[in-house]
Amino acid sequence: MRIVFAGTPDFAVPCLRAAATRAEVVAVYTQPDRPAGRGRGLAPSPVKQAALELGFEVRQPGNFRARETKRALRDLQPDLMVVVAYGLILPQSVLDIPAHGCWNVHASLLPRWRGAAPIQRAIQAGDAETGVCLMQMEKGLDSGPVLLSQAIGIGADETGGHLHDRLSQLGAQVLADGLGLLRAEIKPVPRAQPEAGVTYAHKLDKAEAKLDWHRPAASLAATVRAFNPWPMAECQLAGERLRVHAAVALDEAHGAPPGTLLRAGREGLDVACGTGVLRIRTLQRDGGKAITAADFLNARQDLRAG
């Protein structure tokens, strides 16, 4: 079984490795190298690095509009194309090239959280569970029929980074199961996504990272978890810009204006919200590293009586 793999970030690497154990990977497509680091030198994607380590041919077209790019893909005579967080839109003319079409590994339980940031949006919304879907791709945004799926619970304190890693491994498992069935000539039966329950996980924006103290504390705590490690929630507090790594919501009534620092102790910095109180436990000052609230207070003795 000849497979073309298309993916770019860390999330896709376990899926690439899983594909390599189930079929012949004839080429790996990934986005072009991008500037990174302080020197802004061109850096390869995690998928490119893994593909080169595995000895696969790597291709990096900027898009699939050119006739020559499509012809080069067609010449590979792929049985299947596996797409995992590739980051480029595939036109119908590309989806039609592989004999079995294109499969996509998506990190949500479709039709909930179609789109670019399903992991973070699930946490931010307070979802109790999420999962991975193996989907037959079609022209619409994550709207194709689901071939296989697997659900997992979201931990009460789970961050976006931790859930990302768990779903990445789960995605590799689900993909391996699907490829195993296809090799055995038992193609998974596609299930059309229901029209009810469709939600969209819009791309993360740094502008969203600033905490609005007028919102409920529970909502802010979920945002803090969802946005760790990127873009990382931030706030203005005690005359400083702070990045918030960890926080919990306290179901506590108060009459203070939102944004008021109610208490500052070893357990955290308690800030009045629209409803409830947000206790900041781990934070980062400008130019510093992540520290506990207790360590922060060692440098800000003026806040201890706050």
Question: Are the beta carbons of 129 and 154 closer than 8 angstroms?
Answer: yes
Residue 45 labelled as part of a binding site: no
**Predicted local confidence at residue 306, as pLDDT:** 44
Q: Which helix (H) or strand (E) is 235 found in, with range?
A: strand 233-237
Q: Which helix (H) or strand (E) is 203 found in, with range?
A: none
**Single pTM value for the model:** 0.95
Reduced to 3 states (helix: H, G, I; strand: E, B; else coil), residue 42 is strand
Q: Which amino acid does the sequence have at 164? A: H
Strand partners, 248: 279
Question: Are the beta carbons of 3 and 176 closer than 8 angstroms?
Answer: no
Contacts of 231 (CB under 8 A, 6+ apart): 204, 205, 206, 208, 209
Judged against a pLDDT cut of 80, whether residue 61 lies above it is answered with: yes
Contacts of 195 (CB under 8 A, 6+ apart): 111
Residue 16 labelled as part of a binding site: no
Residue 149 labelled as part of a binding site: no
Is 206-303 a domain of CATH 3.10.25.10? yes
Mean residue pLDDT across the chain: 96
What confidence tier does 305 reach under pLDDT thresholds 50, 70, 90? Answer: low
Q: Which amino acid does the sequence have at 117? A: A
What confidence tier does 13 reach under pLDDT thresholds 50, 70, 90? Answer: very high
Interval 181-187 mean pLDDT: 91
Fold match flag (2-201 vs 206-303): no
Interval 60-75 mean pLDDT: 96
Tokens of 292: 């506990």
Q: Report domain extents, the chain.
A: 2-201, 206-303
> For residue 234, how far is the Cα from the chain centroid?
19
**Predicted local confidence at residue 38, as pLDDT:** 76
CA distance 58 to 257: 56
- pLDDT (tens digit per residue) in 214-255: 999 999 999 999 999 999 999 999 999 999 999 999 999 999
Sequential DSSP letters for 212-223: -TTSBHHHHHHH
For residue 32, say if its preceding peptide bond is cis, omega within 30 degrees of 0.
no
Residue 229 labelled as part of a binding site: no
Record: fold of 2-201: Rossmann fold (3.40.50)
**Closest Cα to residue 106, out of 155, 59, 143, 61?**
143
**Closest Cα to residue 79, out of 189, 192, 193, 178?**
178
What are the φ and ψ backbone dihedral angles of 95, each rounded to 5 degrees?
A: -60, -25
Q: Which helix (H) or strand (E) is 277 found in, with range?
A: strand 277-285
**Predicted local confidence at residue 169, as pLDDT:** 98
CB atoms within 10 A of CB 304: 12
CA distance 182 to 177: 9
Interval 77-94 mean pLDDT: 96
**Closest Cα to residue 90, out of 135, 120, 121?**
135
Tokens of 99: 């004999």
**Max CA distance (Å), the chain:** 72
